[in-house]
Chains A and B, each alone.
Chain A
Amino acid sequence: MSPASVLDVVLAAAVLAVALVAVLLPSRRGAVSAFLVLGVVLAVLWARLDAPDIALAEAALGSGVAGALLMDTLTADPARPGRRAGRTAVVVGLLAGAVALAALTVVVRAVPDEPSLLPAAVAEEIHGAGADHAVTAVLLNFRSLDTLLEAAVLVFAAAGAGALVRTPVRAPDPVPAPVTALARVLLPALVLLGTWLLLAGTSRPGGAFQAGAMFAGALVVAFVAGARFAASQGTAARAWTVAGVLAFVALAAGTAMLGQGWLVLDPRWAGAAVLTVETVLAVSIGVGLAQVFVANSEARRVPS
């Protein structure tokens, strides 16, 4: 076995082991830590599979944003004990996992060995797609309906989380000095990185979701550091949360009425349309994800 395949086997085994630890550990701290480690190992695995877009998204969303949510919830109530799963739950869980693993193995084995025709089809069509990077072209043009619905899912999640907040919220606790200092450095860096990921997404790995996760990170950092603008559950935040879906729907309606059909982009202005929708979508995803975090945190701040 070559060293590279040994590395792959170790990585795959690590994913399964860390996932099992995350599910089976009775301690909440341990389970959350294992879940965060799982996100990192998964990101490395995606990178090994030559899928840098998914690796970036996994690291930014699965580890970054979800990690912030979990750690925030954990540290808010550290004394609360974890719940040890009952024997039935463990047996059912292991059985379900085994069935899922077997089904996945069957599906993966059923994939024919010869290369798929899709990459060639994408390469043929990409000139008029509005993005040079294949993943971005698929997400924002060829299969943009999927992306529209994904953005809609986030709107519902943010609205659901926002519904948990009762309107009078107690004033936030004083912010420790290191948090303010760190936020001053991190905020511009995160905004810069998000913008770069957004613009780079047209020609290389990156795009609206990764950029959106960076913007969400920036907003969460600002919120934790006590910035007023990030704490608002007001009209602006809600408007930005739905803006991505609205921009997408507007594009779809425009192409349906004036162009060749729903979300069929004319190669002449596809580039501008893709970048515009992506920009609105990135900010929208950022605000939506941050709304989930802010709502989760503010829902606990009941006025005493």
Chain B
Amino acid sequence: MTAVVAVADVLAVLLLAAGCFFVVAGTLGLLRFADLPTRLHGVAKADNLGLGFITAGLVVHALAHGGGIAGGGGGAGGIVAKLVLVWLFALLGTAANSHLLAAPARPEPGAEEKPEREPGPGPGPETTPEPEAPATREAP
């Protein structure tokens, strides 16, 4: 029994570490990529995957320890259901947010080439949603 719990703990830590890696990678993409679509692509995909790994890690933990971390009633089953719901709602939110943020920057169907990836006089202030200062300061 304890061996099973130990294996589950190792698995949970591995899953959580993988989740953290993908969230950091997504944030790095948000800070470093050139224009709005690639930034959204990076942060949306990597963060959803990262949150999925973190959810999986917490599910393993809850199953191994009977929902110990969050306490309350419901046991492991309730905790697992709530964790999965959190992930599903985050997926929905990210999809809708990214769609809305990207819509103004999307080229018209009749437009010829891809727009130049100019950060300055691009199609408006939407292309650089984050202040540039932190990104440039952290650059080596």
Instruction: Give the distance in Å from the alpha carbon of A139 to the alpha carbon of B100 in the complex.
Output: 40
Which B residues are in CB contact (< 8 Å) with A30?
Answer: 130-131, 133-134
Residue pair B103, A176 in contact (C-beta under 8 Å): yes
How many residues from B make CB contacts under 8 Å with A?
Answer: 16
B107 within 8 A of A: no
| Interchain pairs with CB closer than 8 A, number | 30
Instruction: Give the distance in Å from the alpha carbon of A185 to the alpha carbon of B92 in the complex.
Output: 9
Given contacts A181-B96, A182-B96, contact A78 B125 (CB under 8 A): yes
Which B residues are in CB contact (< 8 Å) with A115?
Answer: none
Q: Can you name the residue of chain A whose Cβ is closest to the Cβ of B128?
A: A29
Instruction: Give the distance in Å from the alpha carbon of A124 to the alpha carbon of B72 in the complex.
Output: 22
B96-136: CB near A (< 8 Å → 1, else 0) gives 10011001000000000000000000000100011101100
How many residues from A make CB contacts under 8 Å with B?
Answer: 15
Q: Chain B interface secondary structure, helix, strand, loop or mixed?
A: helix
Residue pair A29, B129 in contact (C-beta under 8 Å): yes
In this complex, the member of B100, B130, B131 whose beta carbon has the largest number of chain A beta carbons within 10 angstroms is B131
A195-231: CB near B (< 8 Å → 1, else 0) gives 0000000001000000000000000000000000000
Residue pair B99, A178 in contact (C-beta under 8 Å): yes
Which B residues are in CB contact (< 8 Å) with A10?
Answer: none
Instruction: Give the distance in Å from the alpha carbon of A181 to the alpha carbon of B99 in the complex.
Output: 12
Residue pair B131, A182 in contact (C-beta under 8 Å): no
Partner of A178, one of B89, B96, B129: B96
> Closest approach, in angstroms, between the C-beta of B84 and any C-beta of chain A?
14
Which B residues are in CB contact (< 8 Å) with A79?
Answer: 125
B93 within 8 A of A: yes
A168-202: CB near B (< 8 Å → 1, else 0) gives 00000000101101100110010000000000000
A232 within 8 A of B: no
- Listed A/B pairs (29) with beta-carbon separation below 8 Å: A25-B131, A27-B131, A27-B133, A29-B129, A29-B130, A29-B131, A30-B130, A30-B131, A30-B133, A30-B134, A78-B125, A79-B125, A176-B99, A176-B100, A176-B103, A178-B95, A178-B96, A178-B99, A178-B100, A179-B96, A179-B100, A181-B96, A182-B92, A182-B93, A182-B96, A185-B92, A186-B92, A189-B89, A204-B72
Q: B-side interface residues toward A, CB under 8 Å?
A: 72-73, 89, 92-93, 95-96, 99-100, 103, 125, 129-131, 133-134
